[in-house]
Amino acid sequence: MTRPGGNAARSVGAGSLCVLAASVLWGTTGTAATFAPAVGPLAIGAVAMGLGGLLQALVAAPGIARQAPELRARRGVVLLGAVAVAVYPLAFYSSMHLAGVAVGTVISIGTAPLASAVIER
Protein backbone atom coordinates (compact mmCIF):
# COMPACT_ATOMS: atom_id res chain seq x y z
CA MET A 1 0.00 0.00 0.00
CA THR A 2 1.30 3.45 -0.87
CA ARG A 3 0.81 6.51 1.21
CA PRO A 4 -0.75 9.67 -0.25
CA GLY A 5 1.82 11.70 -2.12
CA GLY A 6 3.91 8.61 -2.78
CA ASN A 7 4.85 6.97 -6.06
CA ALA A 8 1.21 6.32 -7.03
CA ALA A 9 0.39 10.04 -6.94
CA ARG A 10 3.52 10.87 -8.92
CA SER A 11 2.66 8.17 -11.48
CA VAL A 12 -0.88 9.51 -11.93
CA GLY A 13 0.46 13.04 -12.37
CA ALA A 14 3.06 11.95 -14.92
CA GLY A 15 0.47 9.88 -16.77
CA SER A 16 -1.94 12.80 -16.88
CA LEU A 17 0.75 15.07 -18.30
CA CYS A 18 1.61 12.49 -20.97
CA VAL A 19 -2.06 12.19 -21.99
CA LEU A 20 -2.36 15.98 -22.11
CA ALA A 21 0.78 16.28 -24.27
CA ALA A 22 -0.44 13.55 -26.62
CA SER A 23 -3.83 15.27 -26.94
CA VAL A 24 -2.25 18.60 -27.83
CA LEU A 25 0.12 17.02 -30.35
CA TRP A 26 -2.57 14.84 -31.93
CA GLY A 27 -4.99 17.75 -32.09
CA THR A 28 -2.57 19.84 -34.15
CA THR A 29 -1.56 17.34 -36.83
CA GLY A 30 -4.28 18.29 -39.31
CA THR A 31 -3.51 21.97 -38.90
CA ALA A 32 0.23 21.39 -39.17
CA ALA A 33 -0.31 19.42 -42.40
CA THR A 34 -2.00 22.45 -43.97
CA PHE A 35 1.26 24.38 -43.58
CA ALA A 36 2.90 22.03 -46.09
CA PRO A 37 0.68 22.52 -49.16
CA ALA A 38 3.35 21.17 -51.51
CA VAL A 39 3.28 17.80 -49.73
CA GLY A 40 0.34 15.56 -50.54
CA PRO A 41 -1.92 14.17 -47.81
CA LEU A 42 -0.95 10.58 -48.59
CA ALA A 43 2.72 11.43 -48.15
CA ILE A 44 2.04 13.13 -44.81
CA GLY A 45 -0.03 10.16 -43.68
CA ALA A 46 2.64 7.69 -44.78
CA VAL A 47 5.36 9.56 -42.90
CA ALA A 48 3.19 9.85 -39.78
CA MET A 49 2.33 6.17 -39.99
CA GLY A 50 5.92 5.16 -40.70
CA LEU A 51 7.65 7.19 -38.01
CA GLY A 52 4.90 6.79 -35.42
CA GLY A 53 4.50 3.12 -36.24
CA LEU A 54 8.20 2.41 -35.83
CA LEU A 55 8.31 4.22 -32.51
CA GLN A 56 5.23 2.38 -31.24
CA ALA A 57 6.61 -0.95 -32.45
CA LEU A 58 9.85 -0.36 -30.57
CA VAL A 59 8.00 0.49 -27.38
CA ALA A 60 5.55 -2.41 -27.75
CA ALA A 61 8.05 -5.07 -28.90
CA PRO A 62 8.47 -6.76 -25.49
CA GLY A 63 4.71 -7.01 -24.99
CA ILE A 64 4.19 -8.27 -28.52
CA ALA A 65 6.83 -10.94 -28.00
CA ARG A 66 5.15 -12.08 -24.76
CA GLN A 67 1.73 -12.26 -26.44
CA ALA A 68 2.92 -13.83 -29.73
CA PRO A 69 1.03 -17.14 -29.33
CA GLU A 70 -2.25 -15.33 -28.58
CA LEU A 71 -1.69 -12.95 -31.49
CA ARG A 72 -1.06 -15.87 -33.86
CA ALA A 73 -4.23 -17.56 -32.65
CA ARG A 74 -6.21 -14.44 -33.58
CA ARG A 75 -4.41 -13.80 -36.86
CA GLY A 76 -7.54 -12.57 -38.66
CA VAL A 77 -8.37 -9.94 -36.06
CA VAL A 78 -4.74 -8.82 -35.92
CA LEU A 79 -4.65 -8.47 -39.73
CA LEU A 80 -7.90 -6.50 -39.74
CA GLY A 81 -6.49 -4.20 -37.06
CA ALA A 82 -3.26 -3.76 -39.01
CA VAL A 83 -5.16 -2.78 -42.16
CA ALA A 84 -7.31 -0.33 -40.20
CA VAL A 85 -4.26 1.25 -38.57
CA ALA A 86 -2.56 1.54 -41.98
CA VAL A 87 -5.58 3.10 -43.69
CA TYR A 88 -6.53 5.57 -40.94
CA PRO A 89 -3.71 8.14 -41.30
CA LEU A 90 -4.02 8.09 -45.08
CA ALA A 91 -7.77 8.70 -44.84
CA PHE A 92 -7.40 11.28 -42.05
CA TYR A 93 -4.91 13.49 -43.89
CA SER A 94 -6.85 13.11 -47.13
CA SER A 95 -10.00 14.30 -45.34
CA MET A 96 -8.09 17.31 -43.98
CA HIS A 97 -6.91 18.11 -47.51
CA LEU A 98 -10.31 17.68 -49.18
CA ALA A 99 -12.72 19.02 -46.55
CA GLY A 100 -10.55 21.40 -44.57
CA VAL A 101 -9.22 21.06 -41.06
CA ALA A 102 -12.41 22.00 -39.18
CA VAL A 103 -14.81 19.79 -41.12
CA GLY A 104 -12.31 16.94 -41.46
CA THR A 105 -11.58 16.92 -37.74
CA VAL A 106 -15.25 17.06 -36.72
CA ILE A 107 -16.10 14.20 -39.05
CA SER A 108 -13.09 12.14 -37.95
CA ILE A 109 -13.77 12.66 -34.26
CA GLY A 110 -17.55 12.41 -34.64
CA THR A 111 -17.51 9.10 -36.47
CA ALA A 112 -15.16 7.41 -33.98
CA PRO A 113 -17.88 6.63 -31.40
CA LEU A 114 -20.19 5.36 -34.15
CA ALA A 115 -17.48 3.14 -35.63
CA SER A 116 -16.60 1.86 -32.14
CA ALA A 117 -20.23 1.01 -31.45
CA VAL A 118 -20.57 -0.83 -34.77
CA ILE A 119 -17.37 -2.78 -34.13
CA GLU A 120 -18.43 -3.62 -30.57
CA ARG A 121 -21.85 -4.78 -31.76
> Tell me, what's the pLDDT at 1?
46
Max mean pLDDT among 10-14, 62-66, 86-90 falls in 62-66
Nearest CA to 96 out of 109, 77, 84 is that of 109
The pLDDT, as a whole number, for residue 7 is 65
